[in-house]
Structure 1
Amino acid sequence: MKFIGEAVIIGVDTSISMARKDYKPNRIENAKRAASIIARSLISRNIPTLISLVIFYRYSFPLTDLTDRLELIEQAISKIGIMGKVTAPSEVIKDSYLILRAANPGYHKRIILITDAGFNEGINLDISASLLSMAEIELDMLTLGLIPKKVGEYIDKAVKITKGIWLHSENTDEVLSNAAKLGELYPN
Structure 2
Amino acid sequence: MINRALPYFIEDRTGQYTGSDFDEIYDRVFLRVGRPPPGHAAHYAETTLMVYDTGRRSSSKRYSQPVSREPSVILEFGPNGALGTISFVGSSVSMPMGQYLRKTSMFAGSLSRKFTGSNGEEYRWIHRGVSEHEWSCVDSRNYVVAHYTLKPPEKPAYNTSGNMLTIYEPFTHLAVEILASLTIMRYLAASKY
| TM-score, normalisation: structure 2 | 0.34
Larger radius of gyration: 2
| Larger RCO, structures 1/2 (Cα 8 Å, 6+ apart) | 1
Question: Which structure's residues are more often strand, by fraction?
Answer: 2
| TM-score, normalisation: structure 1 | 0.35
